Amino acid sequence: MNIKIALVPGDGIGPEVVGQAVKAVDAVAAEFGHTIEYRKALVGACAIDECGDPYPEESHSICMASDAVLFGAVGDPKYDNDPTAKVRPEQGLLAIRKKLGLYANIRPVETFKSLADKSPLKTELVDGADFVCIRELTGGMYFGEKGRKDGGNTAYDTNIYSRSEIERILKLAFEFAGRRRKHLTVVDKANVLESSRLWREVAQGMEASYPDIKVDYMFVDNAAMKLVSGPKFFDVMVTENTFGDILTDEASCISGSMGLLASASVGEHTSLFEPIHGSYPQAAGKNIANPVAAILSAAMMFEYGFGLMEEGKAIRLAVSKSIDEGIVTEDLADGGKAYSTSEVGDWIASRIRKGGE
């Protein structure tokens, strides 16, 4: 298979971890006989520095012409600490989602048995937790009307959703639940928000079309509590953009490190695959960041982007082996030997070439 991949390393640790994902992709390509063509694109602070635009048109053209986007992270403290900045790295991330029509973020949350004690939660709570968060990605407050009035002393962000936007994300969530344990949790705030009441109304109307799916409804504050008190309750969770952003980051603590969780953003055009950890500028350039989430994002790319399940499995087996054998970065070393970002990437790529053995 000839595969065109847009490489979008972005900011902070993005280039380092994406570099390790590329090693895994190349190892898979060699093992399974695929040809990979990479084209690099700028998004985020690096794009602002280069041309003043967080998502330049050239980068969009590269993404549209590719079979998948392998993404790193965006964000830079020099913009975070300037509330008056008109152009921000995060605008590039929002733009790539909107222009590629990436309306659904799929974030699996699962635990590695050998790391269960690394979670801040009790081992008996997290051991065996395995669920998927599906977050609507192109609606809500992030894209609704926003602004200032009263001389800049009053600010507003509009949380707006249409029925069609809700239906398409719920359809995806119902389908995911059907392929898993047939349990869907719809998270909203329908006791307060009108937009949430529309979410619940649409979901209830769709239930009859999926009679084999057990559906329950949970207010977002209760869902946040349930994630840390009983995460094994969940199978598939679906929610709107802002709630999903918060809940999925909260859920990352279950595995023991944000450096372990990958995600896929899918929709109308080229799908995008990225780690959830952000740009982590404090670690940038130090070769200490955990590359596993980026490498697992590459696994999701093969699985969700191309339907190549064996290729994705090869990456997952190598990652699991690296964790079991303690080939991990400092966030997981727990007093033992800490390997560098590149050492972990090299080890996993080598294991892929050995068939995971």
Q: Select which of 249, 313, 321, 346 is catalytic.
A: 249
Instruction: Report helix, strand or coil for 107.
Output: strand
Q: Select which of 189, 235, 280, 339 is catalytic.
A: 189
Residue among 330, 337, 291, 338 nearest 13 (CA) = 291
Asked if 142 is an active-site residue, the reply is yes
| Distance in angstroms (rounded) separating the CA atoms of residues 143 and 135 | 14
Instruction: Report helix, strand or coil for 241.
Output: helix
| Distance in angstroms (rounded) separating the CA atoms of residues 173 and 49 | 38
User: Helices in the chain by DSSP H: which ranges?
Assistant: 14-32, 45-51, 57-64, 77-80, 89-99, 123-126, 163-179, 194-206, 220-229, 241-251, 292-300, 306, 309-324, 330-333, 341-353
Q: Select which of 49, 117, 221, 334 is catalytic.
A: 221
| Distance in angstroms (rounded) separating the CA atoms of residues 222 and 239 | 13
Q: 162: buried, middle or exposed (CB in 10 Å: 19+, 13-18, 0-12)?
A: exposed
Q: Select which of 26, 245, 321, 346 is catalytic.
A: 245
Asked if 226 is an active-site residue, the reply is no
- Judge contact between 1 and 34, C-beta under 8 A: yes
Q: How far is CA 84 from CA 43, 78, 79, 87, 258, in A?
A: 20, 11, 9, 9, 29
Asked if 189 is an active-site residue, the reply is yes
* Phi, psi angles (nearest 5°) of residue 264: -125, 140
116: left (phi over 0), alpha (psi -120 to 50) or beta: alpha
Tokens 């093992």, residue located: 31
Asked if 216 is an active-site residue, the reply is no
Q: Select which of 79, 103, 142, 210 is catalytic.
A: 142
Asked if 245 is an active-site residue, the reply is yes
* Active site members: 142, 189, 221, 245, 249
